[in-house]
Amino acid sequence: MIGWQTLLYKEVLRFWKVGVQTVAAPILTAVLYLLIFGHVLQNNVKVYDRVEYTAFLIPGLVMMSMLQNAFANSSSSLVQSKIMGSLVFVLLTPLSHWSWFCAYVGSSVVRGLAVGIGVFAVTSFFVRPQFVAPLWSVVFAVMGAAMLGALGVIAGLWAEKFDQMAAFQNFVIMPMTFLSGVFYSIHSLPAFWQQVSHLNPFFYMIDGFRYGFFGVSDVSPWLSLGIVGSALLVVSAIAVNLLRIGYKIRG
């Protein structure tokens, strides 16, 4: 217990020491998205009955910020440690692969939730927040951040330099988050693109998270819960196995 808790503390301290970059900057980015999209589309887009577009936008921005920062935390930590050579000090410890997984994913969840809470707190000044089923939002927030944290572990183990890490984030994570219904309801899309959206697990995270706010969603929250839970188990199993065999970190 002490081992993984110490590594978790070290990882949390790592991003908290540069909180302006790792927490404050994503909050500012989300607020800018809200100001721009909310101002331009407020009177032109109607998503749900009795739900203003700006209010609809906030849960999507909160979840998008959580997912992106949870992924960035674990992936950047591993890549930076490998490049700087400091990962060897963790390898010398008698920590199991489960300890590594819990520490890196746990710190990613902490950072994701910190950014998400910050985004929600700031955007609440623009629209009065509402919660119909808050427990759903909490469950999807934790599961989504954990899944992206585990995915960040996989990407961090695979990447050997920052260019590879940036490519993974720009060509995989960013498109999947932006095309997951953050700024729109998939029912506004043509039939073909609606079917494509249903193949994106990020869509179910954001749709389920949004259900906790308004009590309405594009698909059943139980379906979203099942898909997100299954995706979390698969990604976590891959990450744990890569850590177990020491993929690209042990000679």
pLDDT tens, position by position, 236-245:
999 999 999 9
Which parts of 84-218 are beta strand (E)?
Answer: none
Whether 195 has a pLDDT exceeding 60, the answer reads: yes
Query: Tens digit of pLDDT for each residue in 220-230?
Result: 999 999 999 99
Average pLDDT, the chain: 90
Amino acid at 126: F
CA–CA distance, 219 with 121 (Å, rounded to integer): 27
pLDDT average, residue stretch 89-105: 91
Other beta carbons within 10 Å of 144: 28
Are the C-beta atoms of 69 and 29 separated by less than 8 Å? no
Radius of gyration (Cα) for the chain, nearest Å? Answer: 18
Other beta carbons within 10 Å of 40: 11
Are the C-beta atoms of 177 and 68 separated by less than 8 Å? yes
CA–CA distance, 90 with 94 (Å, rounded to integer): 9
For residue 101, report the phi and psi dihedrals to the nearest 5 degrees.
Answer: -60, -50
Q: Please give the pLDDT value at position 245.
A: 93
Q: Which residues are CB-contacts of 50 (< 8 A; sequence separation ≥ 6)?
A: none
Amino acid at 245: I
Nearest-CA neighbor of 115 among 29, 231, 188, 236?
A: 29
pLDDT average, residue stretch 57-76: 94
Q: Please give the pLDDT value at position 127.
A: 84
Tokens of 72: 């960035």
Tokens of 225: 């819960």
pTM above 0.85, yes or no: yes
Please provide the size of the chain in residues.
251
Distances (CA, A) of 192 to 78, 176, 179, 196, 217: 38, 17, 14, 6, 19
Are the C-beta atoms of 73 and 107 separated by less than 8 Å? yes
